[in-house]
Structure 1
Amino acid sequence: MAKIQIFLLSLLINSLTLISPTLGALKQGFTTDLIHRDSPLSPLYNPSLDKWERVRKSIRRSFSRVSRYSLSSSVSPNDVVSEVKPARGEYLMEVYLGTPPVKQLGIVDTGSDLIWTQCQPCTQCFKQKLPIFNPRRSTTYKVQSCESKACQALDPNQGSCSRRDTCEYIYTYGDQSHTSGDVAAETFTFKSRNRGNTSSFPRISFGCGIDNSGTFSEEGSGLIGLGGGPLSLVSQLGSSIGGKFSYCLIPFAVEGNFTSKINFGTKGEVSGRGVVSTLLVQKSPETFYFLTLEGISIGNKRIPFSSSKRSSLSTNDYGSEEGNIIIDSGTTLTFLPEDTYSELSNSVKRIIRGTPVLDPSRTLDLCYQASRSLKLPNLTAHFTGADIQLRPDNTFINVSEDVVCFAFVPAQDISIFGNVAQANYLVEYDLEEGTVSFKPTDCTEGQ
């Protein structure tokens, strides 16, 4: 009997040793880089553009991105997800697939769920600089069955069953780009550039795309969905990260080889002095992270969040309900209802003593001549239970050497709290508690 107990104990120790990377991630959490697409560290970086051209392109991507949210009420929530435009996110993340691990680079998207990358053998693949993932060379790759949870999570118009009884997916995007292939499970490994730590997670479901074409960039490999739906990376990591992730975004004005960070599990917890929290509101589509913005203050004036129009993502009036704004790391600007924006911009105009000028690209409508004497106001965003102090770096953006513009814009039927407003905040998503927390932080610290 004693020999049997010793044998079983030995098996347990060996098993723990084999899966120790995952257990380490479970106990400690992990951190990896979020590389802004316009950073010199990004493969999407275009050295032929000056920094102002890159800023203007980022602003234009905001309008392209928000158009996918602004759909007519006749469109189903599943179609909202399928119309995400490829390579329109602002941040990239490295992930290593398979055993042995192969480096891939994906656009990070908190407004999307599906994870996918190009795979060999390609029926049709767009050109990419990194080696295309070859599942035949991985010992941990497994195609998912039609009865798998991942396959069942796909919308009927996005998934199908092959003659082999394996699950296949197809996503067609708003610009007619598409990706299709097998739904598979694989080991995902994440590395921290500065610390050299590695965390691995087995059996993550993803799209192994063998037919991909359209406007995808050759510097990337696919997309990493961080939305709230069941197929996203965050949802799949689930209990192993305690349903928590956070990020710290570096402000636009900061130059140099700094990277924003994304944290998972215990590394993603936000606590201490200055933390405020607001509730996530469960709405359809579940991909998006909805918060409730009650108003915005400037000086002693509080402007209520309100609109006389109806949201395309709701049956109620745009500004008359909980969950009236989406928080999104992939959108540069902050979009507000026209009524709220009009009152807010007029209040900003009354306070600023500066020289009004036109935006050189004619995109933003509240701009001033930049100078040392220009004093820009602080704002406060009043979320339910959480007041977020917004400094000028969160509300204004330099679009040229001598022009600074308000980074808030009007939207017809959808609101988004963009990444400029979130800069220098540690932003935590706790999906188990249903909260989003904010902590003022210098996001360049420790780099």
Structure 2
Amino acid sequence: MANESEIVTNLLQRSFSRARSFGQDYYSLQSASSEIIPDRGEYLLKFYLGAPPIETLAIADTGSDLTWIQCKPCVCFDQKAPIFEPSRSSTYKQASCSSKVCTSLPRTSCNVSSNTCNYKVQYGDNSFSKGDIAMEKITLGSTAEEKVTLPSVVIGCGHLNQGTFGAGASGIVGLGGGEASLITQMGSSIQGKFSYCLVPYLGRMTKSSKMKFGDQAVVTGAGVATTPIVPNRPKTFYFLTLEGITVGNMKLNYYDTTFPSSSVNVSKAIQEGNIIIDSGTTLTYLSTELYYQVITALKSQMKSRPIRDPLGLLKLCFRSIARVNVPEITFHFKGADVKLKPINTFIETTRRSICLAFAPASIVSIFGNLAQANFLVGYDLEKKTVSFKPTDCSRS
């Protein structure tokens, strides 16, 4: 028979265990940290899918919501890793037509004959994925000893996938602001906070960096520049306000050309939320007028003679960056000046040519991932801010 001391000891141990279990999800997600691997202009997030857990690499995309991966049986784009087989995962659960997941998510449909919930997502370059909506376990890395498990995440299991995806990727991790995104599904446990640090695209260099969540994702210290996220639709995108760009010593104002510049103050003509920040887009896209102003400013300050892009894709190119003096380009976001280096603004298209990594926007302006390289970029969705801190991401 247990004595009083043993009873109290057991009582206290049960109490401590119970208290820890209440906070386990909160603290485990606070320690979540996943590897980001550069792959030819894309950035792949490493995670583990299903049970037994299968290592998976998918494009980290703040410009989309649904996380999807290629699944057997499949009409697929080429990928290096084996294609995921849902029948071999004990935690895979296909969503039915009547499930809340199916009825609440956009772009879903019902296959009545099989009572399965289907999805289709399409991207700006006409890449697309079609398949089944399901619930599956996702395991992330951690700054603590044990990995972090998300037991039931809404994903897309893609059976028909086509497009310009690199062979290193098995799909996309949706990090946008919509209901289906991984960030939204992680919920209040991460307090709307996540950050990443993208290693610059330097040919075959493959040093990885980290994506962090919760309190460890807060960006602080000297050199931090913070700008508001502007609420807008679709909720997927993180809209920022670009007020202008400085090229060397030339300040270029960003204004809405629907207002005559002679009749309205430039600062009043700036449209809030006129650019989105997107980790899944390589280039930076600017309004046509601002884009050509940037090109004119660069031509006037760079002594080298421009050449044609050997690939025929970009407008302003030069021979080898070693011979070119590139002026600093600063993006003036609302409340935040982000100074870009040549690795952010120019891309090597061949061994003998570099080109401005900007393009004219057809619909929406985009601050792409090349421009974000070597910055610690932190999102705080509760405060509705994005912060930038110059960082050597290869050492982060």
Place the TM-score, normalised by the shorter chain, in its bin. Answer: 0.7 to 0.9
Normalised to the residue count of structure 1, the TM-score between the two structures is 0.74
Is 1:94 aligned to 2:18, yes or no? no
Q: Which of 80, 104, 122 does residue 153 from structure 1 map onto?
A: 104
Structure 1 CA distance for aligned equivalents of residues 77 and 245 of structure 2: 44
The alignment partner of 2:45 has SS state of strand
State whether structure 2 residue 376 is matched by structure 1 residue 419. no
- Cα displacement (A) at 1:334: 1.1
Tell me the residue number matched to 1:10: 14
Q: 1:371 to 1:239 in 2, by over 3 A?
A: closer
Contact 1:229 1:287 in 2 (8 A): yes
SS of 2:200's equivalent in the other structure is coil
Residue of structure 2 equivalent to 1:346: 296
Which one-letter code corresponds to 2:219 in the other structure? V
Q: Distance in 1 between matches of 2:20 and 2:384?
A: 32
- Check the 8 A contact 1:187/1:200 in 2, yes or no: yes
* Aligned mates of 2:258, 2:341 — CA distance in 1: 29
In the alignment, the residues of structure 2 paired with residue 213 and residue 369 of structure 1 have an alpha-carbon distance, to the nearest angstrom, of 38
* C-alpha displacement of 1:428: 0.7
Partner of 2:67: 115
Which amino acid in the other structure matches residue 13 of structure 1? S
Counterparts of 1:176-187 in structure 2, within 5 Å, are 177-181=128-132, 183-187=133-137
Deviation at 1:196, TM superposition (A): 7.5
Higher share in strand: 2
Q: Could you tell me which residue of structure 2 aligns to residue 285 of structure 1?
A: 234
Which of 21, 26, 36 is matched with 2:29 structurally? 26
Uncovered stretches (5+) of structure 2, i.e. residues with no partner: 260-268
Q: 2: CA distance between counterparts of 1:127 and 1:8?
A: 55
Once the two structures are superposed, residues 105-138 of structure 1 have per-residue CA deviations (whole angstroms, 9 ceiling, x without a partner) of 3222221111123445x38667755444444554
Displacement, 1:234?
A: 0.9
Deviations 1:135-188 (A, max 9, x none): 455444444455655323322x52337578x6502205364854222x332221
| Alignment-derived partner of residue 263 in structure 2 | none
Structure 2 counterpart of 1:287, one-letter code: T
- Residue-by-residue CA offset, 1:291-331 (whole Å, 9 max, x unaligned): 00000112343111135369xxxxxxxx8410000111122
Pairing 1:153-232 to 2, within 5 Å after superposition: 153-155=104-106, 157-160=107-110, 162=112, 168-171=117-120, 173=122, 175=126, 177-181=128-132, 183-191=133-141, 198-209=147-158, 211-215=159-163, 220-232=169-181
8 Å contact kept, 1:307–1:337 = no
Matched position secondary structure for 1:444: helix
Q: Residue 316 of structure 2: which of 366, 388, 391 is its match?
A: 366
Cα distance per residue 1:38-75 (max 9 Å; x no partner): 3xxxxxxxxxxxxxxxxxxx5xxxxxxxxxxxxxxxxx
Tell me which amino acid in the other structure corresponds to 2:101: A
Of 250, 253, 260, which aligns to 2:202?
253
**1:220 CA displacement:** 3.9
Q: Deviations over 1:394-425 (max 9, x none)?
A: 21222233322222222243211111111110
Query: Which residue does the alignment assign to 1:73?
Result: none
**Alignment of 1:332 onto 2:282:** yes
1:441 lines up with 2:391 in the alignment: yes
Preserved CA contact (<8 Å) 1:142 1:185: yes
Return 5+ residue gaps in structure 1 as ranges: 39-57, 59-89, 311-318
The alignment-based identity, stated in percent, is 42
Q: Which residue identity is paired with 2:314?
A: L
Is the CA contact (8 Å cut-off) linking 1:35 and 1:260 kept in structure 2?
Answer: yes
Pick closer, same or farther for the CA change 1:102–1:254 going to 2, 3 Å: closer
Aligned residue pairs, count: 379
| 1:387/1:212 CA distance change after superposition, 3 Å | same
* CA distance in 2 between partners of 1:195 and 1:307 (Å): 48
**Distance of 1:443 and 1:218 partners within structure 2:** 24
Distance in structure 1 (CA, Å) of the matches to 2:333 and 2:162: 39
**Residue-by-residue CA offset, 1:266-311 (whole Å, 9 max, x unaligned):** 232211111111011111111111100000112343111135369x
Task: Please tell me the residue identity of whatever aligns with 1:248.
Answer: C
- Contact preservation (8 Å) 2:38, 2:206: no
Change (3 A) 1:208 1:11: farther
Kindly state the Cα deviation for residue 5 of structure 1 after the two structures are TM-superposed.
11
